[in-house]
Amino acid sequence: MSQLEKDVVAKVKKWCDDNKVLYIKFTPFGSKGWPDTVLVFPGGFHLWVELKKKGKRPRKLQDHRMAQLAIQGALSVWFDDAEDCIDYLKDCLEAAREVDA
């Protein structure tokens, strides 16, 4: 069965809560296309994340916004699978803990 976006979000949010990663739902008023989640790891590392329904990808405006973030040196990623996202977040958490140690 295909994962709906809300299912992907719920799994990722639970993993963040369980691992003390701050999960912020980002909903800027009057500005569209930004990744819908900002994660803050121990030590202050920030990651912008766009979560999608399985098989979907970001729209053109979302791609543009993620490129804008990259130009500013921010890291942004997108996933359409909760397990793939969580595997990536585990690597980020490990790196954040190493830097914070």
Mind listing the pLDDT tens digit for each residue in 68-91? 999 999 999 999 999 999 999 999
pLDDT, tens digit (0-9, with 9 covering 90-100), for 17-64:
999 999 999 998 889 999 999 999 999 999 999 999 999 999 999 999
Q: What is the pLDDT of residue 97?
A: 85
The pTM (predicted TM-score) of the whole model is 0.90
DSSP class per residue in the chain: -PPPHHHHHHHHHHHHHHTT-EEEE---TT--S--SEEEE-GGG-EEEEEE--TT----HHHHHHHHHHHHTT--EEEES-HHHHHHHHHHHHHHHHHHH-
Please give the domain boundaries of the chain with CATH numbers for all domains: 5-100 (3.40.1350.10)
Q: What is the pLDDT of residue 1?
A: 57
